[in-house]
Amino acid sequence: MVKTRNVRYAIIAFALCLAAQGAFGDDAALTIYNQDFAVVRDTIALDLQPGTNKVRYNEITAHAEPDSVILRDPDGVQPLQIVEQNYRADPVSQNLLLSLYEGETIEFEVLRGDKTEIVRGKIVRSGYEPHQAGLHRYGYQYRQTQMAYARGGAGQPVIEVDGKLRFSLPGTPVFPALADDAILKPTFHWLLETDRAGALDAELSYVTGGMSWEAAYNLVSPEDGDLLDIVGWVTLDNQSGKTFEDARIKLVAGDVSKLVSEDERRQREAAARYSIADINGPMPPTVTEKAFDEYHLYTLERRTTLRDRETKQVEFIRASNVQSERFYVYDGVKIDDNRYRGWSASNIREDHNYGTISNPKVWVMREFENSEKNGLGIPLPKGRLRFYRRDTDGQLEFTGENLIDHTPRDETDRVYTGNAFDLVGERVRTDFKIDHGAQWINESFKITVRNRKDEPVEIRVVEHLYRWFTWTIPEASQDYEKTDSQTIEFRVQLDPDEEKTVTYMAHYTW
């Protein structure tokens, strides 16, 4: 490997090579998925000769998926084929250059007082860790082995100075030349084949990691009542290693099938136009929406610059006077999941202690219908809901939050926002009988709820018939509704400072 070329000459030659082989357009476009990846589209101005052309393109991200590249003439006039593509994602850095000069002696600048001295040292080991792109193809264990090998165990540089070894750099390294195979940015090296000469504005598309977006909603209630004013934001997160200037950005909401490596999976486990009325009057939409294939596509109306290592928020929904309902649920069962992990349904059925621990908390629930008549009626991407209420002094106070999944129009969102302070529940089992021979169980409960508020409330008492799939309720102190195959619900009306009791018996057979 030749290492005597002047650094400045190498950089100038590199820049001239790029200028001669293609200028890169500013017509960047992004489609960002809420699954931590994006599709990048750009325009490349090429000046090609008949036959094979060598092109180097370095305006790419540091997390590009090389085998996703599509390069074509958008007009379909000039045939264009990538005969060969090489992807380099280890840009020039101090550690990379140290690795390229392993075994050689270079100069180090050392500051002593106000003077700079030169110390010569031999690079025994650089401690450089190569870029991880591509290693995921060979599995998690392979990647770990390669990283350990590259680090040489500790990942520290080893420098020999005056016959002695140092496990750190003696000063700032001064490299005599830029190696021929060094690059300044992540780069595609292409051999392009075409049958005619001429200029071409080619369209480049590829998939990249390091980009994501998510939605968040702020819901504000007045001092009294449950009408909601809703403001929705999308947050764009660019960790791709590239800045996108004045880009057209689209967002895809939905569960798109995307294969990921074992390493990426581990990391994740260790995570129609919006013409809605403004609260103070109509405003032009900043984001438009439409159905796309089996998903929903949101388009930012204005071009925007998304810088590397930047998060950006864009308002995408604003609605007022959205009807909502606040209600209370007492689900009195507290199950120890760790104790019953791996138990079969028949084991649980016959364990007389199962489901007897009481949960005293009464849940506060909020729901609203995502319909046009309710001021919405648009597909809502999954995200965080934050609820606020105005106090008597006009200030907003936070009252709870939760997550919603992707919500189609005309569906209802229901979320838990916390536990009620002035509502209390108590659940006690009063009888349990089992006849193994006749194959039946009788189990009775008493559920007490108390209202310490200054206003009447309704509490929905939820009971789970968890013993078995076939059951009846031969005795109950009041009417109930069967909400699914193993759940019933009692609606209990409570005046201020009132206490009421619900009793029932469940009869199971198998």
**Segment 215-255, tens digit of pLDDT:** 999 999 998 888 999 999 999 999 998 999 999 999 887 65
In the three-class reduction of DSSP (H, G, I as helix; E, B as strand; rest coil), residue 106 is classed as strand
Kindly report which listed range (21-35, 198-212, 329-343, 432-446) carries the lowest average pLDDT score. 21-35
Question: Is residue 276 scored above 60 in pLDDT?
Answer: no
Neighbours of 198 (CB within 10 A): 12
Q: In Å, what is the CA distance from 493 to each residue of 53, 167, 418?
A: 80, 74, 21
Element (H, E) at 337: none
Closest CA to 59 of 26, 96, 20: 26
Report the DSSP pairing between strands 324-331 and 457-464.
Answer: parallel
- Exposed, middle or buried, 150 (CB in 10 Å: 0-12/13-18/19+)? middle
pLDDT at 140 over 60: no
pTM to 2 decimal places = 0.66
Q: Identify the pLDDT of residue 186.
A: 85
pLDDT of residue 295: 66
Question: How confident is the model at residue 198, as a pLDDT?
Answer: 87
The rounded mean pLDDT for the chain is 81
Q: What number is the average pLDDT over the span 84-109?
A: 84
What pLDDT is recorded for position 342? 81
287-313 average pLDDT score: 79
- Taking CA atoms, 240 is separated from 98, 222, 478, in Å, by 25, 41, 60
Is pLDDT of 154 > 60?
no
The whole-number average pLDDT for the span 14-22 is 32
Q: Which residue has the higher pLDDT, 41 or 266?
A: 41
Lowest-pLDDT range, 124-128, 275-279, 502-506?
275-279
pLDDT in tens, 468-491: 999 999 999 999 999 999 999 999
Higher pLDDT, 161 or 24: 161
How many C-beta neighbours within 10 Å does residue 492 have? 21
Q: For residue 455, what are its two tokens?
A: 């206003």
| Mean pLDDT computed over 313-328 | 91
Per-residue pLDDT band for 293 (boundaries 50, 70, 90) equals low
The CA R_g of the chain, rounded to the nearest whole Å, is 33
More confident call, 142 vs 50:
50
Mean pLDDT confidence for 484-499: 96
Rounded-to-integer distance, Cα 362 and Cα 462, Å: 11
124/389 Cα distance (integer angstroms): 64
Q: Is the pLDDT of residue 401 over 70?
A: yes
Q: Is the pLDDT of residue 297 over 50?
A: yes
Contact 384, 217 (CB under 8 A): yes
